[in-house]
Structure 1
Amino acid sequence: MKFGESDFGDLLASAEQLTADIDGGRAGDLPRVERSLRHILDSGQSLLSSTSNRGNQDAKASILLGSRGVDLPSLSTRIDSIQQTDLIQQTEATPCTDIAGFLKSERENAILSLLEETKKETQETMEKLHWDSVYREWETDKQRILAAVAGGGADPGLADLTIARGEITRLHDTNLGGKSSLSNLELQYAKKVVQYNQTVALGGVRPDLMGSFKSLFPEEVDQEISVLWEYASKMADLPSSRPSADVVSRARSFLESSYTKFIKLTVFSNLTNAGLGGIPGNYHLVRSFLNVRVPATQPGLDDGLVDGVPVWALIYYCLRCGDLNAACEGARQAGPGLGDIHTLLQELKSSNGTRLSPQTESMVRIQYRRSVRQSSDPFKRAVYCVLAACDPQEEHSEIATSLDDYLWLKLCQVRDEESGDSLTLPGLQTLLSEEYGESHFNASEQPLLYFQVLFLTGQFETALDFLFRTGDPLSVHAVHLALALFELNLLKLPDSIQAPLISRESSDKSPSRRLNVARLVILFVKHFESTDPREALQYYYFLREMKGGRSSNLFMSCVGELVLESREFDLLLGQLMPDGSRTPGLVDKFGDLVDTGKIIEFVAADSEDKGLLEDAVQLYDLAKKHARVVELLNKLLSQVIAQPPISESNRDRLQRQAINIARRYKNMGVSGGKDSTLTLFLLLDLATFFDLYHAGRSTEALDTLERVKVVPLNQSDVDYLVSGFKLLDDSVRRNIPDVLLAAMSILHNQYKTQPHSSVRDKARCLISYAGMIPYRLPGDTTSRLVQMEVLMS
């Protein structure tokens, strides 16, 4: 297409005259134009020719970077010049007589030296930061690996160590209506957890969580697990300091009551041989048991018989059942020959069954070493060892035929003082857990027995760690047993939640350990939090008083991760209503003990930090942080408004969300900040302009653009809009190149159909505006604008 040379010559002359006026200072307040129109035209044609010669790569790069306000040709030139220039170039030597030159040289050398030193320090700092980051990542991975392999259970970051749970996935009724990852056992426990937390959240008296869990496993349903919760319940009323004497007393009480049940079962199963009779009491029960188990004619039994049974066996089994009265009765009926033992039993009975006086114990031990140790009656030796803790190293293998018997005998010999060959509780713990260990007790084949050994000797943390490492279903019991003990303040916790599952502080005495309950809960919940967020939330509630995580409160951190993982914003945090109110979510059910607003705000900030800006907008809106909602919406909209409107696209979704929020804020009178709100409405207007432009509705698009007053379509608006450009938000300024191109394209198409001078005048206004604003337009944008404007001349 040809155009009149006289018209272009006049335009060129006017432009050169304008440039001369500016250079001469006669232009008043006119801003300085960096390039003349000839330069702009030459640059555009040069870029066009280079694009056609080298293909589309440079053009695509220019369009991509130009849409972000980057002038690629200028940037490439600068980078080339920097790469070809040595930062440190010593100035030429100057004669000493040239003072001005010498001072200039010294000044330049000082500046260059400072630059080089700064460069070196920056490199060293960056290298240090890099290696610090690598070290921290390695330490984190190392802790995860140690926790997973040695500390128990699967770690969330180690997929290869995670227990496969595909076979236990099942359906149960939830509001989510999908598959649950909770097993039948886990679901039973979860229901009890929900009931407990509901009562706690209401602020009433805390229910018995231990008893609630225990009720799930009556003896007729699961005898082994019933026994586990039975001796756990025995320990439930311990003081939080867990004194050795109290631990021993409760452990012995459980073992004695269990043995009494065993004797009854044996007797009632052999009533013919037992000869029980009708007299109640443990004395007659033990005598009947001996009729079945210990023949009166057994060799090696001393001091004769009582009621037809060996007297020392009778006394021992009465003590084994924890009945001192029955033991006293047996010694009394034995006559004067056992008078000393009767006296000892009476003294022990008067001390509430705790222990003999130190003086009496010393006398009994002397007697044991002098004569009793050589006795052929194993029951006699065992009675002396039980009464006065004689010879703690003796195993009593003839009568301690079960682990319970062995453990009871050892607990009877525990004393608080560390003197001579006495056995203390820490000493017994070390013997069982470290010297003997899992292999000695065949723990892999009988995990519940080894757990019992550890638990009844007060090693709760080590016992729970072992049980958790055994895998399902015992690991599930371990988690809930840990929660029950944690609520009773009976567990020793590490100082940091980042500690391994089982650890020891420098101040702890061997074999004491600490259990990281936070890590235990998180490991347990990890496998079902995405499918069962309501249950996961209940377990995280146990961590509400712990400090740590991305927030100062671990519960808030876990809830934040849960919300982002499950994407159940409405279910967990509530939903906004049209009037701006928020419906309660599951977190609100915890009452005043949990600040839902702070949790929502934390989750929103966490989403923003992770780059999930759309989620952050929704969450900030839920938290009533209106200013932040508008700021993020502006940021998101500025990236997509120039794109074609495609249904259900990212642009379409953001535009609808922004319109709904803007309308709601306007109706409610909510302010998101004056400038930010104006920017939001301006971006929505520009989005409408681009909708019309892409739909081919040119006239309506230009009307919208003229009403918005972002770029000038009249000569009288050029100076005003140029001066107001610096007041525009960056989210608007970044879209000015696309607005100019779209507007110029509309004008060019109109001129082709109806070549009126008014259309050409509007195009010149756009060109003038593009050249005068203090914003470096992409080179490709400039050349296209000039080309379309020239084609209308």
Structure 2
Amino acid sequence: MSLADLLAQSRTLTSHLSKPDLPQIHLGLDQIENQSKKLVHKQRGDIDSRVHYLLASGGLNASDLSDKIFTINNNLNNTFEPLQPLLDSDLDGYLRHQYEQTIISTIEEGRRDTVNQFQSNLSENLQSSWNKRLSLLFEELGQHSYSNDVDFIPQQSSSYSTIPSTTLAVNTRMNSYANLVKKLNEYRLQAYNYPIISELSSIAKSLSTTDTRSNQIHDCWQLLASSLREKSVVNGEFQRAALSQREYSNSYLHQSSESDEARNLRTLWTTGSKHFLEHQYLKYIEKIIIQNPSQAQVGGLPLIQNKVRGFLNVKYAKNGGWSDPKIEIISGQPLWAMLFTLLRTGHPNEALDLAIENEEALGKTEREFVPYFKSWLDSPHQRLPRQLHDRFMSTYNTRIRFAAESGSIDPYKYALYKLVGRAELSRRNLQSITTTTEDWLWLQLSLVRESAPGEDSPSESFGLRELAGLLLKFGDKHFDPKGNNPIKYFTVLLLCGQFERAVAYLYNNVQYQVDAVHFAVALSYYGLLRAPEKSHTSEIELLTADANGQPTLDFARMIQRYTRIFAKTDPCEALQYLYLICLNSDAPTPVNKQQIALCHAYIKDLVLETRAYTELVGEIKPDGTKLQGMIEKDLSLISLDNQRDFLVNIVKASAHKAELEKRTRDAILLYNLSEEYNKVILVLCHELGLSLYSNPNDRSQDELFELSNNILSHYKRDARIAHRVDKNNRETLQVLLKLKEILKHYEQSQLDFALDGIEQLNIIPLSGDVISITRKAEDFKEINESISRNFSDILLVTMNILFKIHANLKESPFGDTSRQNKMGQLRAKARTLMMFVGLLRFRISSDVLQQLSRLDVMMV
């Protein structure tokens, strides 16, 4: 039969029914396939004998397995089938079944969506929590591993208490620096200028006898002093000569890098860096002369020209001649070498005098050099006038450059021509005479010139920023390939004015972290460190960049990390360092406000974690006398104007944080110091409310009870405080203290005292008419949350007291009338309580209602 014949035959199956108008149900191919499989399963044939034999040899019963498999398949196939078979014409049954399946499917889909959403939210919350934990972990571990070096500084944490504490006294270097910071803040309080770099340099020098690396640190302080023109001065008439606090902040932090102020600052720094290198070279020359007096032949006059000649004798004179044939000997001496060396040692006037003295001899080969040399030295920024410069470069290009390329020129003459004309700035390396890093840097700094936009052609543009970019490309591996002398690259970065990068690089070397912190202090004092905006800070790195790509150093976090190692043992010294964060209170907006907020936040952490309340925030004596702490005496150092600002920003904020951290006693003490007496009462109410039904053997709760009583009594006695305490808050605390006494009587089975206490409180009606009971129920809406959260337990305790007293009377062997009357009174109190409970039914848990009802029924 064809499929068409089967279809025609199927349509005649229902022709015998009495309702031919019933709608026909058409099955799809998948339904037909499913029904066909059911028919096949019903007509199962015998299993092949070979399969029987194979399974039987393995100890398996094929018939049993076949029956079990058929049963499982049949159950699975019938999972979504109607419980009762449906006739083909039972349309209502079919629709009902489909409706039920739709509901089941919808419920299952909703359950699946709920599970998926729950898993998604759980994953997001776990990821968020992990990110926060990871951030704290990074803060705690920082980017360095543990070191046994005594100057190791752990990385930042959110809590001072997690850091192994030490005392400053055990570390001479740290202790010396801490004393200096304290003195610095004393000067700041009196608005005196303080030569911080000179003082830090003195400390490094004093430590150099026991610590060899302090010699290098001392040289770096000398570099700063030279570059910033700081003079070592004291109070009094010399104050005018000292640099002021934040001397360079306007030029460095507020002005555009292309402004005149910023260019002048870079010029100042370049000149100062050159002077440092020149002074350093002169000391080297004097050392060489002392070591080789017979070769130097300086003579009796310690003139600089004689020293330079003597040094060159040691360097080049060999067996009555000169070891380098390129050195020109004019009038019996190497004049070009002497002129260059006099410039290299910072003696331009002496170099000019020597050139003029020997002008005739020099003029035999370079007749116009001396006038050019004089004009160059006399100009304010060592810049030849344009006309002279063009003529000079013509001479340079026609003779000097070609001679240099052929190697037939005195290298010192070539160097002098390059310096005077700033010639060929793309070729600034003179290998024959710049044999050390210091020589090379001095030459680069000598060629640096800060020009206004458009003043120089691109080929003549070479400023301090361009030099810094070149040095940064070299990197620390070039200057310190073995990694055992980080001070060298630190010095290089300082010489080119990269203050933030220099400090960050030194700080990354564990053995120099203490020094790095104090370099940051000195630079920040003079306004030469950029602090980052909050949005540009990093969780790990202290060095970041601002929106303009300028390097920034997280000075606040560096100070906080440093103080954590000794904060627990020396909180006052740690506070002195935290004051320094507010040096940036004059930084550009919004950095200034963010730095002040950070300073205050770290001070609050210090107060809470060290708990040095008396030293830091003061104390209030029993007679009401208030003693100032260190912070209150130094408000101007943290940008606070008056005592009220101190109480609100530091003490009250610390109290609030302590309250959030569940440090009740700290919060109470700090709220009391901040004169927030109502907050003291509210904190006590909250804690008493939480601990009302705590373990009776918990001593801390007894201490809290005693503390609350003492504070309440003190506030009542002190008229200055009494009128500032809210009446409702005070009454709430009194109720809680009374309830604590009642519970203590109850626990000690002093039931009559407990019942008297409840009646005196008058918060639960045990007598009275319906109106008074209803009024009490209405008053419940206004009851303090510290009491209301415990109200179910209070009611249960009250009913238990009534029940136990009633039971004791009932068991008494004496049957006098007074006993019966008292039992009746107790039952009346219980009924009154139940009436009151009935009005509060929706505010009391069902299990408490059941217990109250049971006790009431049992009082018969």
TM-score grouping bracket, smaller chain normalisation: 0.7 to 0.9
Q: 1:573 to 1:166 in 2, by over 3 A?
A: farther
Is 1:568 the counterpart of 2:612 in the alignment? Answer: yes
* Aligned-partner SS, 2:376: helix
Aligned partner of 1:748 in structure 2 is: 803
Q: Give the match for residue 316 of structure 1.
A: 340
1:414 and 2:442 aligned: no
Task: State the shift of 1:132 in Å.
Answer: 11
Note if 1:236 corresponds to 2:262.
no
Looking at structure 2, the residues matched to 166 and 329 of structure 1 have their Cα atoms a distance apart, in angstroms, of 53
Q: 1:628 to 1:488 in 2, by over 3 A?
A: same
CA apart distance, 1:309: 3.2
Classify the secondary structure of the residue corresponding to 2:322. Answer: coil
Match of 1:773 among 825, 833, 840: 840
Report the alpha carbon displacement of residue 302 of structure 1 after superposing the two structures with TM: 4.7
Give per-residue Cα distances to partners, 1:203-253, cap 9 Å, x unaligned.
331322222212201275332111011001122348442533222211111
CA displacement 1:578-626 (0-9 Å, x = unmatched): 1334322221231455342121111122333445454333321221112
Q: Distance in 2 between matches of 1:169 and 1:714?
A: 73
2:572 to 518, 522, 534: 534
Give the match for residue 764 of structure 2: 711
Partner of 1:507: 548
C-alpha distance 776-515 of structure 1, shift in aligned 2 (>3 A): closer
State whether residues 747 and 763 of structure 1, in contact with CA within 8 Å, keep that contact through their aligned partners in structure 2.
yes
The 3 A distance-change label for structure 1 pair 714 and 569 is same
Q: Tell me how far 1:366 sits from its aligned partner.
A: 3.0
Deviations 1:516-565 (A, max 9, x none): 32232233334443443222211111122545899972221111222233
Secondary structure at the aligned position of 1:421 is classed as: helix
Shift, 1:432, TM fit: 0.8
Alignment correspondent of 1:198: 186
1:371 lines up with 2:399 in the alignment: yes
1:632-668 superposed Cα distances (whole Å, 9 cap, x missing partner): 221211111233433523x223212211221111111
Rate the CA distance shift 1:140–1:456 in 2: closer, same or farther, 3 A.
farther
Deviations 1:101-144 (A, max 9, x none): xxxxxxxxxxxxxxxxxxx9xx99x99999699679859968x9
Local SS of the residue matching 1:514: strand
Per the alignment, residue 351 of structure 1 pairs with 379
Please say which of residues 783-792 and 398-407 is displaced more in the overlay.
783-792
* Residues 77-226 of structure 1 aligned to structure 2 (within 5 Å): 156-158=139-141, 161=144, 163-164=146-147, 179-180=166-167, 183-201=171-189, 203-218=190-205, 221=209, 222-226=214-218
- Cα 1:262–1:643 change in 2 (3 A) is same
Distance 1:283 1:196, change over 3 A: same
Distance 1:359 1:460, change over 3 A: farther
Contact 1:438-1:450 at 8 Å conserved across structures: yes
- Match for 1:376: what amino acid? I
User: For 1:668-714, what per-residue CA distance to the aligned partner results, in whole angstroms no more than 9, with x for missing partners?
Assistant: 13232121111111111111111211122222222222211122333
Aligned partner of 2:509 among 456, 461, 470: 470
Question: For residue 744 of structure 2, what is the aligned residue in structure 1?
Answer: 691
CA contact (8 A) 2:228 2:269 kept: no
- Residue 705 to residue 549, structure 1, CA distance change in 2 (3 Å): farther
Report the 3-state secondary structure (helix = DSSP H, G, I; strand = E; otherwise coil) of the residue aligned with 1:199.
helix
Q: Quick check: 1:385 aligned with 2:418?
A: yes
**Structure 2 Cα separation of the partners of residues 768 and 366 of structure 1:** 115
Cα distance change on mapping 1:140 and 1:718 into 2, 3 Å: closer
Deviation at 1:166, TM superposition (A): 8.3
Shift of 1:762: 2.8
Q: Distance in 1 between matches of 2:123 and 2:679?
A: 32
Aligned position for 1:87: none
1:27 is aligned to none
SS of residue paired to 1:639: helix
Aligned with residue 689 of structure 2, among 638, 645, 650 = 638
Query: 2: CA distance between counterparts of 1:333 and 1:139?
Result: 74
Q: Hey, what's the Cα distance between the residues in 2 that align with 1:331 and 1:767?
A: 116
Q: Does 1:666 align with 2:716?
A: yes
CA distance in 2, matches of 1:164, 1:280: 49
The CA distance in 2 between the partners of 1:166 and 1:766, in whole Å, is 72
> Which of 424, 427, 445 is the matching residue for 2:463?
424
Match of 1:789 in 2: 856
TM-score by length of 2: 0.69
Write the mapping of 1:2-151 to structure 2, written as runs, cut at 5 A. none
Bigger Cα Rg: 2
Q: How far apart, in 2, do the equivalents of 1:524 and 1:635 lie? A: 37
Partner of 1:151: none
Q: Deviations over 1:72-125 (max 9, x none)?
A: xxxxxxxxxxxxxxxxxxxxxxxxxxxxxxxxxxxxxxxxxxxxxxxx9xx99x
Report the 3-state secondary structure (helix = DSSP H, G, I; strand = E; otherwise coil) of the residue aligned with 2:510. Answer: coil
Report if the CA contact (8 A) 1:497-1:519 is conserved.
no
Residue 246 of structure 2 is aligned to residue 246 of structure 1: no
Alpha-carbon separation, structure 2, partners of 1:483 and 1:550: 18
Change (3 A) 1:557 1:259: same
Identity of aligned residues (%): 27
Q: Post-superposition shift, 1:785?
A: 2.2
**2:410 and 2:127 mapped to 1: Cα distance?**
68
State the match for 1:702 in structure 2. Answer: 755
Q: Distance in 2 between matches of 1:515 and 1:137?
A: 27
Q: Write out aligned runs for 1:449-528 (5 A).
A: 449-472=488-511, 474-496=512-534, 498-500=536-538, 501-508=542-549, 512-528=550-566
Q: Is the 8 A contact 1:550 1:557 kept in 2?
A: no
In the superposition, relative to structure 1, how do residues 749 and 166 fare at CA in structure 2: closer, same or farther (>3 Å)?
farther
Q: Deviations over 1:152-206 (max 9, x none)?
A: xxx5244674644685699xxxxxx9842774322221111111112212x3313
Whether the aligned pair in 2 keeps the contact of 1:214 and 1:229 (CA below 8 Å) is yes
Is the 8 Å Cα contact of residues 290 and 309 (structure 1) preserved in structure 2? no
- Counterparts in 2 of 1:323 and 1:139: CA distance versus 1, 3 Å: farther
Q: Residue 289 of structure 1 corresponds to which residue in structure 2?
A: 311
Structure 1 residues 316 and 458, CA, compared in 2 at 3 Å: closer, same or farther?
Answer: same
Change in 2 beyond 3 A, CA 1:133/1:627: farther
Aligned to 1:655: 705
Residue 35 of structure 2 is matched in structure 1 by none
CA contact (8 A) 2:531 2:553 kept: yes
| Alignment CA distance shift 1:178-1:692 (3 Å) | farther
For 1:345 and 1:140, locate their aligned partners in 2 and report how far apart those are by CA, in whole Å: 66
Deviations 1:443-468, CA, capped at 9 Å, x for gaps: 62321111111111111121111111
* Distance (Å, rounded) in 2 between the aligned partners of 1:349 and 1:722: 98
Q: Which moved more, 1:684-693 or 1:265-274?
A: 265-274
1:268-325: per-residue Cα shift (whole Å, max 9, x none)? 222222212222321111111112122152333354244x431211111111111123
Aligned to 1:729: 784
Counterpart of 2:348, as a letter, is L
Letter of the structure 2 residue corresponding to residue 445 of structure 1 = N
RMSD of the alignment, in Å? 3.4
Shift of 1:260: 1.2
Deviation readout 1:490-511 (Å, 9 max, x if unpaired): 2233343752422333435xxx
The answer as to 2:670 corresponding to 1:678 is: no
Check whether the contact 1:251–1:456 (CA below 8 A) recurs between aligned residues. Answer: yes
For 1:684 and 1:160, how far apart are their aligned partners in 2? 52
Does the 8 A contact of 2:228 with 2:272 survive in 1? no
Contact 2:316 2:324 in 1 (8 A): no
Q: CA deviation at 1:719?
A: 4.9
Residue aligning to 2:241: none
| SS of structure 2 residue aligned to 1:217 | helix
